[in-house]
Structure 1
Amino acid sequence: MRLRDELPLDHRLSRVYGVGAALCGLLLLLFGCLGFAGSLTAFGTDGTRIAGLSTNGLLSLISVLFGLLLVGAAVVGGNLASTVNIAVGVLFVVSGFVHLFLIGKEANILDFGMSNVVFSFLMGLLVMTFGMYGRVSGGLAHDNPYWRRRHPEQAARETTAAPLRGVALEAAPDQLAER
């Protein structure tokens, strides 16, 4: 599946992508800034908790960077916001799986706990859902630009048949009157 510029920039789905990216980005920015406000050490694994999640300075920095990325994508909007949402969502889910196996090990430099893993999975799924909304589906309407891009032959047939249907509907009452 190719996710490219199939929708115009002013399409109503652009608002969904942008709002989703902005909300999730602001949440990550808030978490990261609270971590910086707590004067955390960069690689500390002492179990410092902020908003119910264990954190350190490095995780706060990563949260701020990804928050800025999502907010930036929301400002640009359109298909870029959708694509960034999907990519960031996948990274969060992968991060959740990786850190699930790193809990309790010295390689856990981000000080992830089980609550962080659950948050990573949930945030990843939420961000991906915002990004995939209207772009990935099993039942898109035939006037959806993504469906038309994936089924160009059928879309062309429906486009040429549409004017004929309008003529047939207009002609039908005349034909009924003649009978």
Structure 2
Amino acid sequence: MRLRDELPVDHPLNRFYRFGAALCGLFLLVFGCLGFAGSLSAFDTAGRQVAGLSTNGLLSAVSVVVGLLLVAAAAVGGNIASSVNITVGALFVLSGFVHLFLIDRPANVLDFGMSNVVFSFLMGLLIMTFGMYGRVSGGLPHDNPYWRSRHPDLAARETAATRRPRPGLPGPSVPARPPTT
């Protein structure tokens, strides 16, 4: 698939990708800013809680950067927002798995707890859902721009078939007028 040509600029899915990126990005920005407001040190692993999640200065910084990335993707919109949502969501899920094994170990520099792991899984799945909606499916309708980009020959034939009348079929019929008396 080509990234720029598969979805028209004014396609309704564009709003969905933007909304998802903006919503999740703003949530991460708020979480990161609350962590900074608590004057946390960068590598503190003492288990300070912000919004029910353990955090430190480094996790707050990562949250702000990822939140800004998602908000920027929402500003751009379209396929960029969708692709960024898919990528960031996959990274969140991967981070959940990695930190699941790092809990209570010295390598846990982001101070992840079990609530952070669960949050990482859920946020990752939510962000990926926002990015994949309408793009990944087993049965996309033929008017979907992603289906059309994956099957250009069939799409061209369908478009051509709808533009020209088929031979042997009667043209548009005009209803007969009732007799006047």
State whether TM-score is above 0.5.
yes
Give the deviation of 1:169 after TM superposition. 6.8
Amino acid at match of 1:78: G
Structure (1 or 2) with the greater helix fraction: 1
Which residue of 2 is the match for residue 45 of structure 1?
45
Over residues 52-89 of structure 1, what are the superposed CA-to-partner deviations in whole Å (9 max), with x where a residue is unaligned? 10000000000000000000110111111111111100
Over residues 28-71 of structure 1, what are the superposed CA-to-partner deviations in whole Å (9 max), with x where a residue is unaligned? 00000000000001000001011110000000000000000000
Which residue of 2 is the match for residue 87 of structure 1?
87
Q: Structure 1 residues 74, 167: CA separation in 2 closer, same or farther (over 3 Å shift)?
A: farther
Instruction: Provide the C-alpha distance between the structure 1 equivalents of 2:170 and 2:79, rounded to a whole number of angstroms.
Output: 37
With 121-130 and 162-171 compared, the bigger mean Cα shift is at 162-171
Alignment size in residue pairs: 173
1:11 corresponds to 2:8:
no
Amino acid at match of 1:66: V
Instruction: Provide the C-alpha distance between the structure 1 equivalents of 2:112 and 2:43, rounded to a whole number of angstroms.
Output: 11
Instruction: Provide the C-alpha distance between the structure 1 equivalents of 2:45 and 2:167, rounded to a whole number of angstroms.
Output: 69
Instruction: Provide the C-alpha distance between the structure 2 equivalents of 1:16 and 1:95, rounded to a whole number of angstroms.
Output: 25
Q: TM-score, normalised by structure 2?
A: 0.89
Instruction: Provide the C-alpha distance between the structure 1 equivalents of 2:28 and 2:15, rounded to a whole number of angstroms.
Output: 20
Over residues 137-161 of structure 1, what are the superposed CA-to-partner deviations in whole Å (9 max), with x where a residue is unaligned? 1111101111011112221221222
Instruction: Provide the C-alpha distance between the structure 2 equivalents of 1:166 and 1:54, rounded to a whole number of angstroms.
Output: 70
Which residue of 2 is the match for residue 108 of structure 1?
108
Unpaired segments ≥5 residues, structure 1: 175-179
With 129-138 and 17-26 compared, the bigger mean Cα shift is at 129-138
Amino acid at match of 1:57: G
Unpaired segments ≥5 residues, structure 2: 176-181
SS at match of 1:45: coil
Which residue of 1 is the match for residue 178 of structure 2?
none
Amino acid at match of 2:84: V
Q: Which structure would you say has the larger Rg?
A: 2
Instruction: Provide the C-alpha distance between the structure 2 equivalents of 1:14 and 1:119, rounded to a whole number of angstroms.
Output: 26
Q: TM-score, normalised by structure 1?
A: 0.90
With 35-44 and 132-141 compared, the bigger mean Cα shift is at 132-141
Over residues 81-110 of structure 1, what are the superposed CA-to-partner deviations in whole Å (9 max), with x where a residue is unaligned? 111111100110100000000001000000
Amino acid at match of 2:3: R
SS at match of 2:8: coil
Whether contact under 8 Å (1:3, 1:83) holds in the other structure is no
Q: Percent identity?
A: 71
